């Protein structure tokens, strides 16, 4: 009895193990819950975002050409100024004294010139008289030559005196110019946005002109200098519209037009960006220089696009699901299309492949095959893979994509219709869920 009992027990255990193995080998991935979002039609805008800084179209730094103590400051922050308006004055006393000294030197130089001219006339008379006496043999030839030399020297003295007059005239002009520079005037009409000096402060202009004021020419017309990433700069072009927001007015969007995209690259920490300049109108003077602008460029728009969520383009079924679909396709002879249960099999339908499958002959070449994928299972640029839930099963659908706004992507070609449930996630469970609000759901445990 004991041996028979052990034999029955061993047989029962063997049958249980065999049944468990058979069930594991034949069970289907029905225990997964698929989160889906339906494809739909609607507007779609492809955008590029960047940050930038507002500035006036023309900003002038007003400095001083001469050194000295500021005796007057006539404008303050935000003061409107006109071109040629006096905005500050440097104490002119030293410069007035320099002008008076230069003028006196010029008078002295002119007196020396008159003296030299008189001496030259006298030397010419002596030379002529000596020459006449020399012809009559009344004076020596040496005396005649000396008189000629003296006449030439007198004429040279006149030329030197004339040069001295010109030098002193130039010195006087320079002194007058320096005196004029003590009056600091606005070079343009605009608004004072910065003032760096006060009355009594000494300005030193020995090496470079110090900046006293910064004047913005016209704050009703401004520009935004944006830093556009090198990956996005090819999508922009001059004349396209742009919108931006600033932190000072978070609920308001401002509009502008791209004036130019500069070729000069800016590299910061190995990140390459390019400056896209946007012209902005500021009639209410809300925008101020230095504000940070968050800019959006719309480079493509679709009014009625077939849209799918980007999460669906990134989704890949678990390995066990792909393996089960592979076995089911093999059981049908390798020609049935799991995408369409109950339909006639398609001769060109390829069975689903696990990730990494298909890297056989030509698998490293990167050339696309008939299913829109490169050998090795990689997506061809412009063509993506979607998994659509049909008859409760995920079905692989190859599509050609268009523009994207970062959340939704346009589908140009492929076996996809509005309302098709695009799988965005999968989790353990006994059924499937379908979200209709256009937002992906996380996996559910049922």
Classify burial at 188, counting beta carbons within 10 Å of its beta carbon; exposed 0-12, middle 13-18, buried 19 or more. middle
How far apart (Å, rounded) are the C-alpha atoms in residues 228 and 234?
10
Count of Cβ atoms closer than 10 Å to residue 4 Cβ: 8
Give the pair of three-digit tokens for residue 322.
């792909």
Give the pair of three-digit tokens for residue 202.
């000494």
Counting as low any pLDDT under 50, the low residues of the chain are 28-30, 334-372, 374-377, 430-446
How far apart (Å, rounded) are the C-alpha atoms in residues 445 and 400?
33
Give the pair of three-digit tokens for residue 388.
């659509």
Residue showing tokens 């659509």: 388
Do 25 and 289 contact (CB within 8 A), yes or no?
no
pLDDT at 133: 87
pLDDT at 82: 94
pLDDT at 321: 77
pLDDT at 363: 35
pLDDT at 144: 87
pLDDT at 381: 60
Q: Read off the pLDDT of residues 348-364 as tens digits, 9 standing for 90 and up.
A: 444 444 333 333 333 33
How far apart (Å, rounded) are the C-alpha atoms in residues 363 and 245?
49
How far apart (Å, rounded) are the C-alpha atoms in residues 323 and 120?
119
Q: DSSP string spanning 242-295?
A: EEEEETTEEEEEEEEEEEEEEEEEEEETTEEEEEEEEEEE-TT----TT-EEEE
306, containing H or E segment? strand 292-309
On the CB side of 140, CA atoms within 13 Å amount to 3
Pairing of strands 408-414, 393-404: antiparallel
8, containing H or E segment? helix 2-26
Where do runs of H (alpha helix) occur along 288-439?
A: 310-314, 319-331
pLDDT at 367: 43
Q: Read off the pLDDT of residues 397-438 as tens digits, 9 standing for 90 and up.
A: 999 998 888 889 999 999 899 999 999 988 765 344 444 443
pLDDT at 152: 93
Give the pair of three-digit tokens for residue 291.
């504000």
Of 38, 35, 39, 36, the C-alpha closest to 401 is: 39
pLDDT at 380: 58
């Amino acid at each position: 009895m004991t041996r028979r009992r052990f034999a029955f027990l061993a047989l029962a255990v063997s049958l249980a193990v065999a049944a468990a193995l058979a069930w594991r080998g034949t069970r289907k991935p029905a225990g997964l819950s698929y989160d889906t979002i339906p494809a739909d039609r609607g507007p779609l805008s492809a955008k590029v975002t960047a940050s930038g800084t507002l500035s006036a179209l023309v900003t002038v730094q007003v400095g001083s050409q001469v050194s000295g103590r500021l005796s007057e400051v006539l404008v303050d922050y935000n003061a409107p100024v006109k071109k040629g308006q006096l905005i500050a004055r440097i104490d002119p006393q030293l410069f007035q004294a320099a002008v008076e000294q230069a003028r006196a030197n010029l008078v002295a130089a002119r007196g020396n010139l008159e003296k030299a001219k008189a001496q030259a006339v006298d030397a010419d008379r002596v030379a002529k008289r000596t020459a006449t006496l020399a012809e009559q043999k009344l004076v020596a030839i040496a005396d005649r030559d000396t008189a000629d030399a003296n006449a030439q020297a007198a004429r040279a003295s006149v030329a030197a005196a004339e040069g001295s007059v010109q030098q002193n005239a130039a010195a006087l002009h320079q002194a007058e110019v320096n005196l004029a520079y003590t009056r600091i005037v606005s070079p343009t009409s605009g608004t004072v946005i910065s003032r760096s000096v006060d009355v009594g402060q000494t300005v030193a202009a020995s090496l470079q002109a110090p900046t006293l004021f910064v004047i913005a020419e016209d704050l009703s017309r401004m520009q935004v200098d944006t830093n556009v990433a090198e990956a996005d700069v090819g999508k922009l072009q001059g004349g396209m519209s742009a919108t931006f927001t600033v932190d000072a007015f978070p609920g308001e969007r401002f509009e502008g037009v791209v004036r130019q995209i500069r070729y000069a690259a800016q590299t910061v920490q190995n990140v390459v960006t390019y400056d896209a300049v946007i012209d902005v109108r500021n009639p209410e003077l809300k925008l101020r220089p230095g504000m940070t602008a968050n800019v959006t460029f719309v480079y493509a728009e679709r009014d009625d696009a077939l849209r799918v969520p980007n999460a669906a383009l990134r989704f890949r079924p678990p390995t066990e699901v792909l393996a089960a679909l592979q076995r089911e396709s093999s059981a049908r002879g390798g020609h049935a299309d799991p995408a369409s249960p109950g339909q006639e099999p398609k001769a060109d339908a390829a069975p689903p492949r696990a990730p990494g499958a298909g890297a056989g002959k030509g698998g490293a070449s990167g050339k696309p095959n008939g299913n829109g994928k490169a050998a090795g299972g990689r997506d061809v640029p412009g063509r993506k893979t979607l998994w659509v839930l049909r008859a409760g099963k995920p079905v692989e659908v190859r599509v050609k994509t268009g523009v994207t706004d970062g959340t939704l992507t346009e589908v140009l070609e492929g076996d996809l219709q509005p309302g098709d449930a695009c799988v965005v996630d999968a989790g353990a469970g006994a059924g499937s869920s379908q979200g209709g609000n256009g937002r992906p759901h996380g996996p559910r445990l049922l």
